[in-house]
Structure 1
Amino acid sequence: MNTNTKSGDAGSRARAMVLAAGRGLALAVVSLPLSILGFCLSLVSMALIPIGVGALTTPYVVRGVRLWADRRRALAAKWGGVRIPSAYRPLPETVNPWKRTYALLRDPATWRDLRWLQVDMTAGFVSALLPAVLFLYPLEGFAVAAGLWRVLADGGTYWYGFVPVTGQPSALGAAATAVVLLAAAYRLTPRLLLAHFRLTRAVLAPGRTELTERVRVLTETRRDAVDTSAAELRRIERDLHDGAQAR
Structure 2
Amino acid sequence: MTDRQKRFAGRLVALGRCHVLSLATLVTALRGLAALGALMLLPVGLGLLLMPSTARMLRRGSDLERDRTARWTGTVIDDPEPLPTAPTANGRAVAVLGSTAFWRDLAWAGLGPWSAGLLVAVPPTLAGFGAFGALVQPFLWPHLGPDNWYAFVPVDSTGTALAAAALGVAFFALALWLSVPVLVRYGTWTGRLLGDPYAARLERRIGQLTDSRADALDTQAAELRRIERDLHDGAQARLVALGLTIDRAERLVDSDPEAARLLLGDVRAGSQRALQELRDLVHGILPPVLADRGLPDAVRSLALDAFLDVEVDAELPGRLPAAVEGAAYFAIAELLANAGKHSGGRTVLIRLRRTGDLLRATVTDDGRGGADPDRGSGLAGVRRRLAAFDGTLALVSPPGGPTTATLELPCASSSPKTSSSSATA
Q: TM bucket by the smaller chain?
A: 0.7 to 0.9
Partner of 1:8: 2
TM superposition shift of 1:196: 1.8
2:133·2:168 contact (CA, 8 Å) conserved in 1?
yes
- The within-5 A match list for 1:199-218 is 199-213=189-203
- CA distance in 2: counterparts of 1:74 and 1:188, whole angstroms: 23
Partner of 2:140: 148
TM superposition shift of 1:35: 1.9
TM superposition shift of 1:202: 2.1
Partner of 1:242: none
1:144·1:171 contact (CA, 8 Å) conserved in 2?
no
Q: Larger helix proportion, structure 1 or 2?
A: 1
- The within-5 A match list for 1:47-196 is 47-92=40-85, 94-152=86-144, 154=145, 156-196=146-186
- CA distance in 1: counterparts of 2:65 and 2:90, whole angstroms: 29
TM superposition shift of 1:145: 4.6
Partner of 2:343: none
Secondary structure of the corresponding residue to residue 121 of structure 2: helix
Partner of 1:24: 18
Structure 1: state its 5+ residue gaps: 1-6, 220-247
2:15·2:175 contact (CA, 8 Å) conserved in 1?
no
Partner of 2:30: 37
**1:196 alignment partner AA:** Y
Secondary structure of the corresponding residue to residue 81 of structure 2: coil
Secondary structure of the corresponding residue to residue 75 of structure 1: helix
1:39·1:118 contact (CA, 8 Å) conserved in 2?
yes
1:134·1:182 contact (CA, 8 Å) conserved in 2?
yes
Q: Which has the larger radius of gyration?
A: 2
Q: Residue deviations 1:58-85, cap 9 Å, x none?
A: 0110111011011111100011111112
- CA distance in 1: counterparts of 2:65 and 2:92, whole angstroms: 25
TM superposition shift of 1:54: 2.0
1:45·1:61 contact (CA, 8 Å) conserved in 2?
yes
When normalised by structure 1's length, the TM-score is 0.75
Q: Larger strand proportion, structure 1 or 2?
A: 2
Aligned residues: 210
1:157·1:164 contact (CA, 8 Å) conserved in 2?
yes
Structure 2: state its 5+ residue gaps: 210-425
Q: How large is the Cα RMSD of the aligned pairs? A: 2.5
Sequence identity percentage: 28
State which drifts further: 48-57 or 171-180. 48-57
TM superposition shift of 1:212: 4.1
The structure with higher relative contact order (CA 8 Å, sep 6+) is: 1
Deviation >3 Å, runs of 4+: 212-219
1:144·1:174 contact (CA, 8 Å) conserved in 2?
no
